[in-house]
């Protein structure tokens, strides 16, 4: 495959690696994407469930929808693509490099897989945030929606970023810096259409980083990518195995 060996060598030598993931990396775990033919927005209008206005109109209805999604997330398990990024992080850090994984996903699977240097750009569906005091807390399993704050007793909302809302404080600045300084940037399983996350690949390219895209369909980022793999996240990341000595010693599952 043209360009693959160079991409492998670049990744093997990189001291600064930044990764962006989208819904496509969690699809093999059974979590639906949003925009493809079988995505959530085929059957649900985002304006009814994923905006502050929708929550203000019908908080119970929004919470019922999120409770349904949370149940699916709790049934899911990290897949080989999540685990491949854990291995990549360990490899980069072991040679004294810097690594940051930025995800648009709210399912928490990267953290469950073992990723450490992680920015959940759009929040986490397994957490709630108090509407009054702002306290964030993990939802119990099971829970009855809507949840209430354990500190002040006020109703809490999902701790996710809805359309029209700001990203978590500091999340964008940390992400932008990592991609601007990256020797290699990977963009995996995202349509590259939702801003500001969609601009991270362009930021890496503008900073001189080597850009690798893994996505079944072309995206707005494809013309800039040094290597664009038309495949799913599991298949694509499997093309970047850990060093042979690590595999031989059984360091990674």
The 10s digit of each residue's pLDDT in 149-163 is 999 999 999 999 998
More confident call, 124 vs 40: 124
- CATH code for the part of the protein at 32-75+127-160: 3.30.1600.10
**Cα dist from 130 to 85, 151, 231, whole Å:** 32, 9, 40
CATH architecture under which domain 4-30+78-122+169-249 falls: 3-Layer(aba) Sandwich (3.40)
Q: Write out pLDDT tens, residues 107-146.
A: 999 999 999 999 999 999 999 999 999 999 999 988 899 9
Q: Two tokens at 58? A: 């019908």
* pLDDT above 90 (res 179): yes
Whether residue 251 lies in the annotated active site: no
Residues 201, 224: contact at Cβ < 8 Å? yes
Name 191's bridge partners: none
CB 227 within 8 A of CB 7: yes
3-state secondary structure of 143: coil
Residue 191 token pair: 């349509």
Choose among 237, 240, 241, 188: nearest CA to 214: 188
On average, the pLDDT of the chain sits at 90
pLDDT at 216 over 50: yes
Alpha-carbon distance 207 to 202, whole Å? Answer: 9
Q: Among residues 110, 122, 135, 251, which one is catalytic?
A: 122
CB contact at 8 A, 145 and 67: yes
pLDDT at 77 over 90: yes
Domain boundaries, the chain: 4-30+78-122+169-249, 32-75+127-160
Cα–Cα dist 153/136, whole Å: 13
Q: 4-30+78-122+169-249 and 32-75+127-160: same fold?
A: no
């Amino acid at each position: 495959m043209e360009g693959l060996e160079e991409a492998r060598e670049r990744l093997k030598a990189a001291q600064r690696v930044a990764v962006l993931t989208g819904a496509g990396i969690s699809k093999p775990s059974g979590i639906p994407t949003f925009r493809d033919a079988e995505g959530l927005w085929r059957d649900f209008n985002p304006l009814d469930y994923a905006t502050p206005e929708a929550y203000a109109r019908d908080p119970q209805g929004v919470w019922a929808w999120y409770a349904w999604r949370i149940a699916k997330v709790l049934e899911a398990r990290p897949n080989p693509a999540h685990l491949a990024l854990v291995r990549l992080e360990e490899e980069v850090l072991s040679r004294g490099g810097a690594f940051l994984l930025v995800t648009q996903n709210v399912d928490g699977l990267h953290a469950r897989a073992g990723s450490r240097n992680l920015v959940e750009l759009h929040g986490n569906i397994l957490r709630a945030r108090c509407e009054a005091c702002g306290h964030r807390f993990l939802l119990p399993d099971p829970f009855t929606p809507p949840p209430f704050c354990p500190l002040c007793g006020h109703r809490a909302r999902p701790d996710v970023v809805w359309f029209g809302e700001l990203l978590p404080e500091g999340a964008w600045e940390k992400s932008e810096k990592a991609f601007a300084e990256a020797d290699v940037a990977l963009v995996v399983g995202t349509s590259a259409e939702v801003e500001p996350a969609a601009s991270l690949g362009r930021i890496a390219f503008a900073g001189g980083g080597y850009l690798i895209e893994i996505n079944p369909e072309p995206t707005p980022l494809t013309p800039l990518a040094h290597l664009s793999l038309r495949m799913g996240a599991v298949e694509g990341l499997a093309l970047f195995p850990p060093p042979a000595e690590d595999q031989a010693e059984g360091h990674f599952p």
